[in-house]
């Protein structure tokens, strides 16, 4: 059995929440998917501490609902869905009250495989400034390489809306990036 | 895929969390969550009469401590401090709970609107 | 166990405790009719003493310590009644009048017919000191909270969500998301 990323795992079906003996298997699941969940949270929230807290809560929720997972593909879908939803809720909570702190958190070093790290950082910041739903659409598209139909299912949104968010976001990012770092080839 | 999209794939690639993340998750998963008392239960326990009068009075009384030696003063401060701390926790819990409930109500209304 | 409904009301009067605090004295008489009462007045040295005794080792207390770091005062009047009609509209009106004075802005007003509890939240905008007033009125409950000083409402609200009140479920029971099919 394998999941996205090629990590082999064993999911044990049990009516009870993951018991003591299953924790090693669950540990593998966490390690196998932590980059995906943390990445989603970090790129969305742009706050390392909040992203880790949110990612932990997603896995704890998984631990509690482990028996409802039907397959490795379902597991990945579940993690994306819950992580996305919690990210959007988090932003709504944060933006609900006036007087927001602007936490200046130094950004972690990113592996860019020889590409311009400044450009990557600028892009990541611009993505984090998008409205919440288009932001998550963009992150699911480019971090997870999901097709619009898949994004639509994760976010419970019409496919046409996903495509519209994607197109508008790309236009916005292209425009803002051009003003920030100069023209880039399309 | 355009150049911008390539750059987005690089900028938004998956990221490993800080070291020890899985261990922290497992630690929390192993620890059974103690049932949290509802905030009003904590409040009710503290505020049952005649305890209410005792708590309210203790705040007033704490302002009239006779000076009687360093040890006694420190002990008194400890007692008062703990009482004041309890009150503070209650006040924060009450205020926070109310804010949270209002926020949840408004967010729920917002979610209902977007489903239409 | 009775469900306490809290109505918090903040009034700025300038006589009680701190200069910016609301005048809530007229609510004290309600404790005679109330089955449950919360009465907290913490400011000045007593507030500092309370904060000093918050433990950095306890996660909840550590969070509270952070939230209250810049407070000057916190005042709570909360009542639960056996019967409806225990408090008068005039009790609330006199508080609202204080909150309608310059320097206060109402930022949220929720009228709920579902649970019969109405809530209003005000921010003290006319003073560099800052402050918050929370007013919640239900048929059998009344709560007023007045906070003087700077406070992060987001953090306070988070505390309210985590300290004893469970968060809403992310997924509804019975919901089984299906894995998607690629269509390209």
CA C95/CA A160 separation, integer angstroms = 50
Tell me where in chain A the CATH 1.10.1740.10 domain(s) lie.
Answer: 1-96
Nearest to A153 among C170, C171, C180 (CB): C180
Would you say how long chain C is, in residues?
A: 184
Distance of CA A39 to the CA centre of its chain: 5
B71 has pLDDT over 60? yes
pLDDT of residue A179: 78
Q: What is the pTM of this model?
A: 0.52
Q: Work out the minimum CA distance from B52 to partner chain A, whole angstroms.
A: 33
pLDDT of residue A25: 86
Chain A CB contacts of B10 under 8 Å are 112-113, 115, 120
Inter-chain CB proximity C160 and B62 less than 8 Å: no
Inter-chain CB proximity C153 and A61 less than 8 Å: no
CA B69/CA B90 separation, integer angstroms = 31
Structure tokens given for A32 = 């196998």
Nearest to A184 among B4, B16, B28 (CB): B4
For chain A, state the CA radius of gyration.
Answer: 18
- Of the candidates A122, A130, A132, the residue with the CA atom closest to the CA atom of residue A86: A132
pLDDT tens for chain A, 186 residues long, are 333 444 333 333 343 444 445 556 899 999 999 999 999 999 999 888 889 999 999 999 999 998 889 899 999 999 999 999 999 988 877 666 664 333 334 445 555 555 677 788 889 989 998 999 999 999 999 999 999 999 999 999 999 999 999 999 999 999 888 877 654 443
Neighbours of chain C (3+ CB pairs under 8 A): A, B
Backbone dihedral angles phi then psi of residue A116, each to the nearest 5 degrees: -70, 110
> Which of C 73-102 lie inside 8 A of B, CB atoms?
74-76, 78
A and B: number of Cβ contacts within 8 A:
114
CA C9/CA C72 separation, integer angstroms = 17
Inter-chain CB proximity A99 and C107 less than 8 Å: no
> Which of B 6-65 lie inside 8 A of C, CB atoms?
36-44, 47, 52, 56, 59, 62-63
Q: Which of C27, C38, C61 would best serve as a mutation to test chain B binding (most B beta carbons within 10 A)?
A: C38
Domain, as residue range, for B56: 3-115
Q: Per the structure, how many domains does chain B have?
A: 1
What confidence tier does B115 reach under pLDDT thresholds 50, 70, 90? very low
Fold classification of A114-186 is Arc Repressor Mutant, subunit A (1.10.10)
CA A137/CA A84 separation, integer angstroms = 9
Residues with Cβ within 8 Å of B59's Cβ and at least 6 positions away in sequence, in order, are B83, B84, B87, C41, C46
Residues with Cβ within 8 Å of C116's Cβ and at least 6 positions away in sequence, in order, are C138, C139
ipTM of the complex: 0.76
In chain A, the N- to C-terminal Cα span, in Å, equals 40
Neighbours of chain A (3+ CB pairs under 8 A): B, C
Chain B CB contacts of A27 under 8 Å are 22, 26
CA C39/CA C33 separation, integer angstroms = 14
Q: Work out the minimum CA distance from B90 to partner chain A, whole angstroms.
A: 22
pLDDT of residue B53: 58
What SS3 class is residue A185?
Answer: coil
Average pLDDT over residues B52-70: 60
Interface check for B97 against chain C (CB to CB < 8 A): the answer is: yes
CA C107/CA A146 separation, integer angstroms = 40
pLDDT of residue A88: 92
CA C171/CA A78 separation, integer angstroms = 10
B106 has pLDDT over 90? no
CATH number of A1-96: 1.10.1740.10
Inter-chain CB proximity A74 and C181 less than 8 Å: no
Chain A CB contacts of B12 under 8 Å are 39, 43, 123-124, 127, 138-139, 142-143
B15-24 residue pLDDT tens: 999 999 999 9
pLDDT of residue C135: 94
For chain C, state the CA radius of gyration.
Answer: 19
CA dihedral A32, A33, A36, A38 (to 10 degrees): -110
Which residues of chain C are under the pLDDT cut of 50?
Answer: 1-18, 165-178, 180-184
Inter-chain CB proximity B17 and A55 less than 8 Å: yes
A and C: number of Cβ contacts within 8 A:
54
Tell me where in chain A the CATH 1.10.10.10 domain(s) lie.
Answer: 114-186
Q: Work out the minimum CA distance from B25 to partner chain A, whole angstroms.
A: 6
pLDDT of residue C95: 93
What SS3 class is residue C109?
Answer: strand
pLDDT of residue B43: 55
pLDDT of residue B64: 60
CA A127/CA A130 separation, integer angstroms = 5
Chain B CB contacts of C171 under 8 Å are none
pLDDT of residue A140: 97
Nearest to C36 among B44, B56, B95 (CB): B44
CA B13/CA C81 separation, integer angstroms = 56
């Amino acid at each position: 059995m394998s999941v996205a990323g090629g990590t082999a795992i064993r999911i044990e079906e049990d009516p009870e929440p993951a018991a003591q003996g299953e924790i090693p298997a669950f540990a593998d699941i966490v390690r196998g998917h932590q980059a995906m969940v943390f990445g989603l949270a970090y790129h969305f929230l742009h706050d390392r501490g909040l992203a880790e807290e949110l990612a932990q809560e997603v896995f704890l929720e998984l631990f509690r609902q482990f028996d409802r997972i039907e397959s490795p593909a379902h597991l990945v879908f579940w993690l994306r869905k819950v992580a996305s939803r919690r990210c959007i809720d988090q932003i709504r909570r944060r933006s609900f009250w006036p007087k927001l702190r602007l936490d200046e958190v130094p950004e972690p070093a990113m592996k860019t495989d020889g590409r311009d790290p400044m450009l990557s950082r600028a892009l990541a910041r611009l993505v984090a400034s998008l409205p919440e739903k288009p932001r998550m659409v963009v992150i699911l598209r480019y971090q997870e390489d999901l097709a619009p139909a898949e994004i639509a299912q994760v976010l419970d949104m019409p496919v046409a809306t996903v495509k519209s968010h994607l197109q508008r976001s790309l236009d916005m990012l292209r425009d803002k990036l051009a003003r920030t770092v100069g023209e880039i080839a399309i | 895929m355009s150049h911008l999209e390539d750059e987005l794939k690089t900028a938004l690639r998956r990221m490993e969390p800080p070291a020890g993340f899985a261990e922290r998750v497992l630690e929390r998963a192993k620890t059974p969550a103690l049932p949290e008392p509802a905030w009003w239960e904590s409040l009710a326990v503290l505020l049952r009469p005649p305890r209410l009068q005792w708590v309210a009075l203790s705040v007033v009384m704490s302002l009239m401590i006779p000076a009687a030696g360093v040890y006694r003063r420190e002990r008194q401060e400890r007692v008062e401090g703990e009482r004041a701390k309890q009150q503070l926790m209650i006040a924060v819990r009450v205020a926070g709970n109310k804010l949270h409930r209002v926020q949840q109500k408004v967010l729920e209304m917002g979610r209902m609107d977007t489903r239409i | 166990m009775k469900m306490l409904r809290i109505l918090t009301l903040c009034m700025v009067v300038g006589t009680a405790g701190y200069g910016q605090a609301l005048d809530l004295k007229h609510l004290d008489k309600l404790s005679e009719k109330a089955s449950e009462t919360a009465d907290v007045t913490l400011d000045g040295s007593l507030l500092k003493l309370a904060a000093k005794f918050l433990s950095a080792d306890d996660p909840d207390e550590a969070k509270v310590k952070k939230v209250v770091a810049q407070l000057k005062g916190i005042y709570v009047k909360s009542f639960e009644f056996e019967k409806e009609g225990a408090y008068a509209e005039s009790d609330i009106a006199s508080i609202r009048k204080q909150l309608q004075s310059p320097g206060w802005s109402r930022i949220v007003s929720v009228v709920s017919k579902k649970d019969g509890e109405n809530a209003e939240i005000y921010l003290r905008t006319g003073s560099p000191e800052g402050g918050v007033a929370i007013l919640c009125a239900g048929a059998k409950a009344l709560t007023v909270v007045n906070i003087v000083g700077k406070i992060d409402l987001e953090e306070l609200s988070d505390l309210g969500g985590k300290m004893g009140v469970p968060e809403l479920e992310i997924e509804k029971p019975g919901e089984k998301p299906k894995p998607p099919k690629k269509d390209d």
